[in-house]
Amino acid sequence: MLAAIFSLLGTGQRSPLVLFAIVLATFAYLVSGRRVTGKTVFAVFFVFVPVITLATAVLGRSGAGNSSVLGLLGEFLQRILASNQTSSVVGWRYIYRRGPQETFGGEWLESLQGLLPGSAGSTLANEIFAVLYGSDRGTSPPSLWGSIYYNFGYSGIAVAPVILAMIFAGVTRLGTRSKERNTLELIGIAGVFATIGTWVAGTPVYLLNTGIAVYAVVWVIGSRQSLTADPFGDAKGLSRRRRSRRPRPRPRPRPRRIVAANDIHAE
């Protein structure tokens, strides 16, 4: 875990570290049998919040005059609880004035093309950032529903919640059904849950950028290993447990011997 934290801090981005904390908390929830105690929540909080605060100062991502610990912590909370929400509101007003796109899903398609080399992709997030801060050297994506409205109009607003609810419910049911799982599979499930659970803004490219494809592959590989190995790689131990859990056949009662009355002799 320390290697993952160090690698994420080396990128200069704090959002992946926050997502990693959510994945870790979800993993603890699944490992504990879907029972998260207060100790688990406080452990994640007291480990990652100081690390993120320190990374903000070391990487030079703090604003002017925020050199104290409380100032850095307040800036981090401002980023999570206010900045993203302001971006969604301003993005909705910007989109509403422009109206839905003429091309059905055109902006989503442009953002997907931006993953390819030589393609700039969609510039909507940069345009909203320019409205907020006066420069397009940054991104402020609209909310998920603002993005759906911009790409699919009012019909998308009516249909998309039903489709997303069915997809998310299916993924949740598949990941929480009772069965024997190993650690690798639980990591993949936690990653998929955290990724789709934090998709509140932008296009589906967010899911790809946050690694949902990798987590899905880990989930599949782990589920196949669960059929042959236990959570710690001891295939024999798992087979023994499975055999021990099987109900043992009850012994059949012996037939009683029936004695005729004339076979009983008095002494």
Residue-wise pLDDT for 148-176, tens only, equals 999 999 999 999 999 999 999 999 999 88
pLDDT band, very low/low/confident/very high, at 251 (cuts 50, 70, 90):
low
Q: Please report, rounded to a whole number, the percentage of residues in the chain having pLDDT higher than 90.
A: 34
Query: Is residue 178 very low, low, confident or very high in pLDDT (cuts 50, 70, 90)?
Result: low
Residue 189 has pLDDT above 50, yes or no: yes
Q: Which of 46-55, 218-227, 240-249 has the highest mean pLDDT?
A: 218-227
Read off φ and ψ for residue 65, nearest 5 degrees.
85, 0
* Range in 29-33, 91-95, 160-164, 193-197 the model is least confident about: 29-33
The pTM (predicted TM-score) of the whole model is: 0.73
Predicted local confidence at residue 10, as pLDDT: 55
Give the lowest-confidence range in 81-90, 107-116, 181-190, 233-242: 233-242
- Specify the pLDDT at position 62: 55
Kindly state the average pLDDT of the residues 49-66: 62
Look at residue 203 and tell me whether its pLDDT is greater than 50: yes
Mean pLDDT score across all residues of the chain? 77
Residue 27 has pLDDT above 60, yes or no: yes
Give the pLDDT of residue 29: 83
pLDDT at 84: 80
Q: pLDDT at position 63, please?
A: 55
pLDDT above 70: residue 1: no
| Better-predicted residue by pLDDT, 92 or 1 | 92
Angle at 191 between CA 222 and CA 224, to 5 degrees: 10
Confidence of residue 65 (pLDDT cuts 50, 70, 90): low
For range 97-120, the mean pLDDT: 87
Q: What is the mean pLDDT of residues 193-205?
A: 93
The answer to whether residue 186 scores a pLDDT higher than 60 is yes
